[in-house]
Amino acid sequence: MKITELEKIEIDLLLQGIFLRYGYDFSEYSYASIKRRLSNRIEHENLSHFSELLPKVLHNEEFFNHFLSDLSVGVTEFFRNPSFFLYIRERIIPILKSYPFIKIWHAGCSTGEEAYSMAIVLAEEQFYERAHVYATDFNSRSLEIAREGIYALPSIQDAKENYLQSGGKNQFEHYYHSKYKSVKFHNSIKKNIIFSYHNLVTDSSFGEMNMIVCHNVLIYFNRNLQNKVLKLFQNSLCFGGFLCLGDKETIEYSDVSKQFELISKKNKIYKKITN
């Protein structure tokens, strides 16, 4: 998406205002991504210029919370990319089973669908009791939805086929109950998922993980921020740990590329080979 110099100035002023007022740093997100999201918001607000958002953001905290959702990466669904979960089920979990206990980090988890999907796979492979799934995001509203584990029924209906393609061993309905056009996941699936706040832009490494899943978040960052976040992931993984990225993302040309080995090109899964 083409961006003019004047639009860059407007966006920079807006992002600086957000950082000074609320502490969220979007300055190293890609301009194309920011412009696309801001364009949707000014159209919704019937505004003409990005700079018209600044007084609304600074003086109306409720408006900012809606605005924050615009800037969050919220594209997720249950068992999205079934081949990824099938590969985890068939190729990665047998390796992880050699550990007495494992930790998995879903970074940028949004409303939690992928974290629940991973928990189901672990449960079906008789490994959930020895695992903790940490699911993090900087959007508090998204985390609230994830913790509740309540989703609209249509989103579940669409996921049933993906679940089966991922190697699912039950009926998807086995893991939730339905009521009032919504579903709620059972506590047996929720019990080992820890949802918590973490900002990939400003926060430090997140424990020593056996696997990190971060799908389609890096594509919204510029090259410098991508490199910074990949270093964070490298520091957060134990030796032999697995890094799982989105299909349009890569560690190639990054500072950590030599610390990893590509083990699945199709599913963008890397293994940490050095400390």
Q: What is the pLDDT of residue 155?
A: 80
Same domain, 144 and 263: yes
If one counts the domains in the chain, the total is 2
262 in a structural domain: yes
The residue assigned the tokens 């089973």 is 97
With a CB cutoff of 8 Å and minimum separation 6, the contacts of 149 are 112, 116, 176, 184, 185, 189, 190
Q: What is the pLDDT of residue 238?
A: 95
Same domain, 218 and 139: yes
User: Whose CA is closest to 244, among 204, 219, 271, 224?
Assistant: 271
* DSSP label of 61: H
Q: What is the pLDDT of residues 16-61, one digit of tens each?
A: 999 999 888 888 888 888 888 888 888 888 988 999 999 999 999 8
Q: What is the pLDDT of residues 85-129, one digit of tens each?
A: 999 999 999 999 999 999 999 999 999 999 999 999 999 999 999
Q: What is the pLDDT of residue 229?
A: 94
46 in a structural domain: yes
Same domain, 228 and 96: yes
Same domain, 231 and 109: yes
Of 123 and 68, the structure prediction assigns the larger pLDDT to 123
Same domain, 141 and 214: yes
Q: Does position 73 have pLDDT exceeding 70, yes or no?
A: no
Mean pLDDT in the chain?
A: 91
Q: How sure is the predictor about 79, in pLDDT bands with cuts at 50, 70 and 90?
A: very high
Cβ-contact 172, 77 below 8 angstroms? no
Q: Where are the beta strands (DSSP E) in 155-192?
A: 176-179, 182-185
Q: What is the pLDDT of residue 65?
A: 81
Q: What is the pLDDT of residues 228-244, one digit of tens each?
A: 999 999 999 999 999 99
214 in a structural domain: yes
Rounded to whole angstroms, the Cα distance separating 132 from 51 reads: 44
The two tokens of residue 175 are: 């893991």
Strands 102-107 and 209-214: parallel
Rounded to whole angstroms, the Cα distance separating 159 from 149 reads: 15
Rounded to whole angstroms, the Cα distance separating 203 from 200 reads: 6
Same domain, 180 and 216: yes
98 in a structural domain: yes
Last residue of a domain, one of 71, 91, 120: 71
232 in a structural domain: yes
Same domain, 132 and 180: yes
Pairs from 59-65 (Cβ < 8 Å, separation ≥ 24) = 64/18, 64/21, 64/22, 65/141
113 in a structural domain: yes
Same domain, 230 and 118: yes
Same domain, 150 and 32: no
Same domain, 203 and 93: yes
76 in a structural domain: no
Same domain, 189 and 135: yes
Which residue range is the domain that position 215 belongs to? Answer: 82-272
Last residue of a domain, one of 19, 38, 71: 71
Last residue of a domain, one of 71, 90, 114: 71
Q: What is the pLDDT of residues 162-220, one digit of tens each?
A: 999 999 999 999 999 988 889 999 999 999 999 999 988 888 887 799 999 999 899 88
Same domain, 13 and 59: yes
Cβ-contact 79, 261 below 8 angstroms? no
77 in a structural domain: no
Which CATH number does the domain housing residue 126 bear? 3.40.50.150
The two tokens of residue 145 are: 């939805």
User: Whose CA is closest to 214, among 147, 136, 149, 120?
Assistant: 136
